């Protein structure tokens, strides 16, 4: 069954939730690619009993374990240790140079090593390097080796951003359902030119699909802070009911500091439990929509930690007399 199309901006916004964050050429990560791309795993996490995503034997497009030069060159019997953990340089692991000290101490070019160029076995190389430029020493130019061609930029994605193709699809479905649960969603898309009959048809079908696939458990959504008791979508941090307008309106800018090509909207993807290595938190019931400002405040700290921090700020301001206490009588 072909569903009526969403407004282009909204459709694009939901689609982009299945992509990773941006990355420039100075880092080893790919820029804005699917969350099911090749993942990069720090060696220390791999050694500590690293686990694949629940229900998956491995990652859909493979993985590369990144080993610090100090670990590789200073440990005795390192190849034996790597074999113990199922790793082999050039197959599923690379030496990752991040500092000039590492480069100068064990220069891979002097060792006759090649920078890797492929994300699948064999990697066609031994190492990758992303070392920033410095003016402190002679010859302090930036060092970029491996995965730096136009065809292949970046070795992979941050492992904590990973989600399988099926999980990405389910997340997009749930996120669209949450848009339709905004108190004024229908009125907002009507103003974009979407026909009333198409609005009703698409909304009903998306909510039905989510219900059938177990993505519309309102108690779970409420406990995740993404809907309120009235079943309207809320910002997970401030708990304010969201307006559908925020999916289309550009973020408010301070007078005199406007940027004319800004593309950030007022409402963005929000992870309830923050993305972190060792967990796979881009998944249903851990995603929602939230204010851009609330997202920025929360950052990677998580909602609970952010609320504790905010509570401390309020208490100190009340104590010092800068803010009146609002205790209930």
What are 181-212's pLDDT values in tens digits?
999 999 999 999 999 999 999 999 999 999 99
3-state helix, strand, coil in the chain (%, to 5): 35, 15, 50
Confirm whether 85 is domain-assigned.
yes
Reported as a single tens digit per residue, the pLDDT across 24-65 is 888 999 999 999 999 999 999 999 888 889 889 899 999 999
Confirm whether 208 is domain-assigned.
yes
Residue 157 shares a structural domain with residue 44: yes
Residue 106 shares a structural domain with residue 44: yes
Measured CA to CA, the distance from residue 303 to residue 291 in angstroms comes to 13
Residue 135 shares a structural domain with residue 37: yes
Domain enclosing residue 96, as ranges: 22-161
| Among candidate residues 126, 161, 196, the one where a domain is terminated | 161
Residue 214 shares a structural domain with residue 133: no
Measure CA 257 to chain center: 28
Residue 105 shares a structural domain with residue 201: no
Chain position carrying tokens 């939730």: 17
Torsion angle of the four alpha carbons 239, 240, 243, 249, in this order, in degrees rounded to the nearest 10? -90
Confirm whether 139 is domain-assigned.
yes
pLDDT at 299: 87
Confirm whether 2 is domain-assigned.
no
| Among candidate residues 135, 161, 187, the one where a domain is terminated | 161
Residue 91 shares a structural domain with residue 213: no
Half-sphere exposure of 35 (CA within 13 A, CB side): 25
Confirm whether 318 is domain-assigned.
no
Residue 289 shares a structural domain with residue 177: yes
Residue-averaged pLDDT of the chain: 92
Reported as a single tens digit per residue, the pLDDT across 10-33 is 999 999 999 999 888 889 999 999
**One-character DSSP codes across 238-296:** T-PBPPGGGGTSBPP--TT---TT---BSEEEEESSPP-TT----STTSEEEEEHHHHH
Confirm whether 308 is domain-assigned.
no
Q: Residue length, the chain? A: 329
Residue 38 shares a structural domain with residue 154: yes
> 93: helix, coil or strand?
strand
Q: Which residues contact residue 114 at a Cβ distance below 8 angstroms, ignoring those fewer than 6 apart?
A: 124, 125, 126
| Number of domains present in the structure of the chain | 2
Residue 204 shares a structural domain with residue 233: yes
Confirm whether 294 is domain-assigned.
yes
| Among candidate residues 140, 161, 182, the one where a domain is terminated | 161
**One-character DSSP codes across 184-236:** THHHHHHHTT--HHHHHHHHHHHHHHHHHTT---HHHHHHTTSB-TTS-BB-T
Residue 246, both tokens:
């925020």
pTM above 0.75, yes or no: yes
Residue 182 shares a structural domain with residue 273: yes
Instruction: Single out the residue of 290, 75, 63, 53 nearest to residue 165, CA to CA.
Output: 53
257 has a pLDDT exceeding 80: no
260 has a pLDDT exceeding 60: no
Under 8 Å between Cβ of 128 and 97: yes
């Amino acid at each position: 069954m072909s569903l009526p199309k969403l407004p282009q901006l909204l459709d694009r916004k939901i689609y982009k939730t299945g992509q990773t964050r941006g990355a420039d050429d100075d880092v080893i990560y790919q820029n804005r690619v699917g969350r099911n791309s090749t993942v990069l795993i720090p060696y220390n996490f791999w050694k500590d009993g690293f686990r694949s995503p629940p229900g998956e034997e491995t990652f859909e497009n493979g993985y590369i374990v990144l080993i610090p030069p100090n670990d590789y060159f200073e440990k005795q019997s390192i190849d034996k240790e790597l074999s113990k953990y199922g790793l082999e340089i050039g197959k599923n692991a690379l030496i990752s140079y991040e500092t000039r000290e590492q480069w100068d101490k064990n220069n891979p070019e002097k060792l006759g090593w090649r920078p890797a160029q492929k994300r699948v076995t064999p990697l066609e190389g031994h190492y990758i390097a992303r070392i920033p430029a410095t003016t402190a020493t002679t010859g302090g130019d930036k060092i970029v080796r491996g995965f730096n061609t136009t065809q292949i930029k970046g070795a992979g994605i941050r492992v904590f951003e990973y989600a399988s193709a099926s999980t990405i699809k389910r997340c997009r479905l749930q996120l669209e359902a949450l848009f339709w649960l905004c108190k004024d969603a229908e009125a907002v898309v009507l103003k974009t030119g979407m026909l009333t009959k198409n609005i009703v048809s698409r909304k009903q079908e998306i909510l039905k699909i989510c219900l059938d696939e177990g993505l519309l458990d309102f108690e779970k959504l409420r406990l995740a802070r993404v809907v309120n008791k009235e079943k309207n979508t809320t910002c997970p941090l401030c708990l304010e009911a969201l307006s559908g307008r925020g999916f289309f309106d550009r973020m408010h800018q301070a007078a005199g500091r406007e940027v004319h090509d800004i593309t950030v909207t007022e409402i963005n993807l929000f992870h309830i439990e923050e993305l972190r290595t060792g967990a796979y938190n881009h998944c249903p019931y851990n995603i929602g929509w939230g204010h851009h400002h609330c997202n920025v405040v929360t950052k990677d700290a998580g909602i609970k930690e952010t609320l504790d921090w905010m509570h401390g700020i309020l208490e100190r301001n009340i104590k010092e007399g800068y803010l009146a206490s609002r205790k209930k009588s």
